[in-house]
Amino acid sequence: MSAASVRRPPVFPHLWLLWFGGSQVLLLAVWWSAGWLAMLPVWLLSHGLLLWGTFRPGSRVLGPVLTRLPTREREVWLTIDDGPSADTPAMLDLLDAHGAKATFFLVGARAVKQPALVREIVRRGHGIGNHSMGHPAAWFWALGPVRMRHEVDRCQRALTDLTGRPPRWFRAVVGMANPFVSAALKPHGLTRVAWSARGYDGVAADPERVVARIERDLAPGAIVLMHEGAPHGHNVAMLALLLQRLDAQGYRTVLPA
């Protein structure tokens, strides 16, 4: 699995403006020539694509995104969002016990308050990803270009200062990436990462059900989404069970370069 085959940093971050702007010109032309009823399907299609690109984590409408690894081997990429947290040390011990590796998508504001945990993640050989500075879960999808750049830039600087290496991966908050995300990622060469297997462990509290959902989507190259520090307090138990199931099914965890 080569780095070139995995990384997908944005090249033309404003490409969406071309098709969306063109659709609005078409919309006006149809309205002028045939009236608003004929215009309605064009309006629905153009705005529907914009919404789909924003709210669908794996959509490529607004820019490149990685949803799985290009491999046929029984390998998965384990990713853990929202740290660092009080769960981090126990999760690191579990990963060590299973000989597993993960990429931790860290929130910048939480990282700067717990620098020792961030450095410990790196010291134990795990990856670090950018998960925004403040994790504005309710309205990340609606951020404008200045605030979006602020969230990405500040987190990138914080994690680079703490670890001595710039993250290469970015995960949108709640997976929702609006039209301004790609422009914020391009200067840093960041690749947006989504997922192909999740158990909703950020809100669901039953480890068996969470891991069963993940197992249904396990396949070679799957990107597995997990969380830490959720209010229900069961993320460590969920990771423990998932690692047991991965071992039992012959999967190994890998870190893309």
The pLDDT tens digits of the residues spanning 218-229 come to 999 999 999 999
Position 211 scores a pLDDT of 98
Tell me whether residue 87 is one of the annotated catalytic residues: no
Among residues 14, 47, 81, 131, the one annotated as catalytic is 81
Per DSSP (E only), the strands in 112-240 are 127-130, 169-170, 191-192, 197-198, 223-227
Position 42 scores a pLDDT of 78
Position 110 scores a pLDDT of 98
What mean pLDDT is predicted for residues 175-183?
95
Contact by Cβ (8 Å): 118, 84: yes
Cis peptide before 84 (omega within 30 of 0): yes
Position 202 scores a pLDDT of 95
Position 244 scores a pLDDT of 98
pLDDT in tens, 4-53: 479 989 999 988 888 888 888 887 888 788 887 877 887 788 878 889 88
Contact by Cβ (8 Å): 170, 193: yes
The SS3 assignment for 81 reads strand
Contact by Cβ (8 Å): 190, 227: no
pLDDT in tens, 200-248: 999 999 999 999 999 999 999 999 999 999 999 999 999 999 999 999 9
Distance CA 157, CA 154 (A): 5
pLDDT in tens, 48-68: 888 988 999 999 999 999 999
Position 4 scores a pLDDT of 45
DSSP run (H or E) holding 256: none
The alpha helices in the chain, defined as continuous H runs, are 3-6, 15-34, 36-55, 88-97, 108-113, 115-123, 145-163, 181-185, 207-216, 235-248
pLDDT in tens, 137-164: 999 999 999 999 999 999 999 999 999 9
Position 21 scores a pLDDT of 84
Backbone dihedral angles phi then psi of residue 195, each to the nearest 5 degrees: -165, 165
Distance CA 250, CA 163 (A): 32
Tell me whether residue 247 is one of the annotated catalytic residues: no
Is the pLDDT at 115 greater than 50? The verdict is: yes
Give the pLDDT band of residue 2 (cuts 50, 70, 90).
very low
Is the pLDDT at 196 greater than 70? The verdict is: yes
What mean pLDDT is predicted for residues 111-130?
98
The residue among 73 and 15 whose pLDDT is bigger is: 73
Query: What would the two tokens of residue 113 be?
Result: 């308050």
The residues, ordered by sequence, that sit 6+ positions from 157 with a Cβ below 8 Å of its Cβ are none
Q: Which residues pair with 226 in a beta bridge?
A: 80
Backbone dihedral angles phi then psi of residue 143, each to the nearest 5 degrees: -65, 140
Please state whether 251 falls in left (phi above 0), alpha (psi between -120 and 50) or beta: beta
Query: Does this model's pTM top 0.75?
Result: yes
Position 123 scores a pLDDT of 98
Among residues 14, 131, 227, 247, the one annotated as catalytic is 227
